């Protein structure tokens, strides 16, 4: 989905606020949330793809105004309610009020991947162009590389395609690649010519260029 | 008694997010999804044992042992496992080397991917919208704002960890450290130098 989480290249956020000697956790509740996420993962109550998509489905205003551990909390609560492990009523009784959950899944992936991949379609040095896909569901293809040309720099092996794994119990295994993009290809001719951005992309996201 | 002292004896009321977190924890304990003590056990590892001191040991070893460095750059996961580090968010590690003419920096524009076994849990700024938005678009400007002023002649390579690979930067060994032991060298290595927002 073209969500608020897909931040690469956006303007207007201002400086990066670096905290000196930052603690691992700022509040005891952040420890609790980290532990809940690990616990629900250990019990296979979620996978990382569903979890990331549950964060992406947060209300954009809530996403931008809350900390990362609040994202984790919201996504965990959302998935547990969607799976029926807890009910919204139970949660709201526990907090004594409303609880913000992520919006429902709108659609699954727009990708119809091949059942299996025997050999990688691209090699180191292959010129590629990123497909201009805009699925309503989960994807790990950032908006800022769609339609852009790059060159494969590594073939990383076979991994579950997140676009499928976030929405079904199927595992679609596919090659993933590292692709180098010239900064001017991404941001126009005025961009810094001595900058390149390297992005890891699944085969379904790419076409030969 | 000052107001400050008085406040000290009356803890602030719980914030709404804290109430939600504790309510969910209680509910999951009641349903038997999590056991008493589980959270403390998991979290204490990340508070005490897993952090940038691990990555610093990897870097120091690479500086003193050229054969190790070659293995590290060829297969980061395996070479890092030689020092006993691995685990969640470290299943597929790639180490990228800084040189006098190439500077590397790591970001995750879509979420917060980060090499936990070698760097620990990410700092807030790494997960923040300004870092994630700007690092891929204007890294030289952003790095300068963060205290790293790279001349235009230095090529910047930004690594967006958008799939399963997690990245760690191998910083250059600082000059004047020839006589130092591996342990002394590890003490020089900062977290930010392994993310790529600082040099040593």
If one counts every other C-beta atom within 10 angstroms of the C-beta of residue A131, the result is 16
Does any domain span residue A118?
A: no
Q: Which two tokens stand for residue B129?
A: 């919208």
Does any domain span residue B44?
A: no
pLDDT tens across A56-65, in order? 999 999 999 9
CATH of residue B137 = 3.90.330.10
Using a pLDDT cut of 70, give the percent of chain A over it.
95
Across the range A148-153, mean pLDDT stands at 98
Which pTM was predicted? 0.94
CATH of residue A155 = 2.30.30.50
Known active-site residue B112: yes
pLDDT tens across A67-86, in order? 999 999 999 999 999 999 99
pLDDT tens across B51-76, in order? 999 999 999 999 999 999 999 999 99
Residue B32 and residue B62 in one domain: no
Number of Cβ pairs < 8 A linking chain A and chain B: 210
pLDDT tens across B141-189, in order? 999 999 999 999 999 999 999 999 999 999 999 999 999 999 999 999 9
- Cα separation, A196 vs A157, whole angstroms: 23
Which secondary-structure segment (H or E) carries A53?
A: helix A48-56
Residue B88 and residue B30 in one domain: no
The model's confidence at residue A94, banded by pLDDT at 50, 70 and 90, is very high
Does any domain span residue B155?
A: yes
The pLDDT mean for chain B works out to: 93
Residue B31 and residue B82 in one domain: no
Known active-site residue B193: no
Residue B177 and residue B119 in one domain: yes
pLDDT value of residue A172 = 87
Residue B39: closest C-alpha in chain A: A35
Does any domain span residue A167?
A: yes
- Cα separation, A102 vs A4, whole angstroms: 13
- Cα separation, B187 vs A9, whole angstroms: 35
Residue B196 gets the label, from left (phi > 0), alpha (psi -120 to 50) or beta, of left
Least confident of A132-146, A167-181, B121-135: A167-181
Across the interface, of B22, B51, B156, the residue whose CB is closest to A29 is: B22
Residue A171 vs residue A121, higher pLDDT: A121
Residue A11 and residue A84 in one domain: yes
Cβ pair A165, A178 in contact under 8 A = no
Does any domain span residue A122?
A: no
Residue A23 and residue A97 in one domain: yes
Residue B21 and residue B86 in one domain: no
Q: Answer whether residue B77 shows pLDDT above 70.
A: yes
Domain that holds residue A178: 127-208
Does any domain span residue B30?
A: yes
Residue A142 and residue A202 in one domain: yes
Find residues 168-187 of chain B whose CB sits inside 8 Å of chain A: none
pLDDT value of residue A42 = 75
Known active-site residue B111: yes
Across the range A23-42, mean pLDDT stands at 91
Query: Dmax of chain A from CA atoms?
Result: 58
Across the range A3-8, mean pLDDT stands at 98
CATH of residue A57 = 1.10.472.20
Does any domain span residue A92?
A: yes
pLDDT tens across B96-114, in order? 999 999 999 999 999 999 9
Across the range B18-31, mean pLDDT stands at 94
pLDDT value of residue A114 = 56
Residues A90/A93/A98/A100 CA torsion (nearest 10 deg): -40
Contact B27 A40 (CB under 8 A): no
Residue A90 and residue A135 in one domain: no
Domain that holds residue B67: 51-195
Contact B163 A142 (CB under 8 A): no
The catalytically annotated residue of B44, B111, B128, B181 is: B111
Contact A34 B120 (CB under 8 A): no
A40 touches chain B (CB under 8 A): yes
Residue B118 vs residue A114, higher pLDDT: B118
pLDDT tens across A104-147, in order? 998 755 556 555 567 899 999 999 999 999 999 999 999 999 99
Residue A83 and residue A150 in one domain: no
Q: Answer whether residue B121 shows pLDDT above 60.
A: yes
Residue A135 and residue A97 in one domain: no
The model's confidence at residue A44, banded by pLDDT at 50, 70 and 90, is confident
Residue A196: closest C-alpha in chain B: B157
Does any domain span residue A6?
A: yes
Using a pLDDT cut of 90, give the percent of chain B over it.
84
pLDDT value of residue A45 = 75
Does any domain span residue B115?
A: yes
Tell me what percent of chain B is helix, strand and coil, each rounded to the nearest 5.
45, 10, 45
Contact B21 A36 (CB under 8 A): yes
Residue B137: closest C-alpha in chain A: A9
Domain count, chain A: 2
Q: Answer whether residue A163 shows pLDDT above 80.
A: yes
A174 touches chain B (CB under 8 A): no
Question: ipTM strictly over 0.90?
Answer: yes
């Amino acid at each position: 989905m073209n969500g608020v989480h897909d931040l690469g290249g956006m303007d207007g956020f201002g400086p990066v606020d670096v905290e000196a000697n930052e603690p691992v956790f700022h509040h005891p509740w952040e420890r609790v949330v980290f532990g809940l996420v690990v616990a629900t993962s250990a019990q296979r109550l979620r996978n990382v793809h569903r979890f990331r998509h549950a964060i992406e489905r947060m209300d954009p205003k809530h996403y931008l105004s809350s900390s990362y551990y609040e994202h984790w909390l919201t996504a965990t609560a959302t998935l547990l309610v969607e799976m029926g492990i807890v009910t919204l009523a139970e949660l709201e009784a526990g907090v004594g009020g409303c609880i913000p959950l992520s919006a429902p899944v709108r659609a699954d992936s727009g990708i119809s991947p091949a059942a299996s991949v025997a050999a990688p379609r691209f090699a180191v040095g292959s010129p590629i162009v990123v497909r201009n896909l805009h699925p309503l569901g989960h994807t790990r293809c950032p908006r800022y590389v769609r339609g852009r040309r790059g060159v494969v720099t590594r073939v990383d092996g076979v991994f579950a395609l997140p676009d499928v794994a976030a929405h079904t119990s199927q595992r679609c295994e596919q090659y993933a690649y590292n692709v180098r993009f010239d900064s001017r290809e991404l941001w126009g001719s005025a961009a810094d010519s001595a900058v390149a951005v390297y992005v890891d992309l699944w085969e379904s996201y790419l076409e030969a260029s | 008694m000052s107001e400050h002292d008085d406040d000290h004896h009356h803890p602030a009321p719980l914030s709404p997010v804290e109430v939600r977190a504790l309510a969910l924890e209680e509910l999951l304990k009641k349903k038997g999804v999590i056991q008493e003590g589980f959270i403390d056990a998991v979290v204490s590892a990340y508070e005490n044992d897993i952090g940038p001191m691990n990555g610093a040991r990897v870097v120091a070893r690479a500086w003193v042992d050229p054969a190790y460095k070659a293995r590290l750059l060829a297969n980061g996961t395996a070479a890092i496992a030689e020092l006993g580090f691995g685990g969640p968010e470290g299943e597929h590690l790639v180490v990228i080397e800084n040189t006098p003419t190439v500077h590397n920096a790591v970001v995750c524009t879509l979420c917060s991917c980060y090499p936990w076994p070698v760097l620990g849990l990410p700092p807030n700024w790494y997960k923040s919208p300004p870092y994630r938005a700007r690092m891929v678009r204007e890294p030289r400007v952003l790095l300068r704002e963060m205290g790293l002023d790279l001349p235009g002649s230095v090529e910047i390579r930004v690594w967006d960890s958008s799939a399963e690979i997690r990245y760690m930067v191998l910083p250059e060994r600082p000059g004047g450290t020839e006589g130092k032991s591996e342990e002394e060298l590890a003490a020089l290595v900062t977290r930010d130098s392994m993310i790529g927002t600082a040099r040593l």
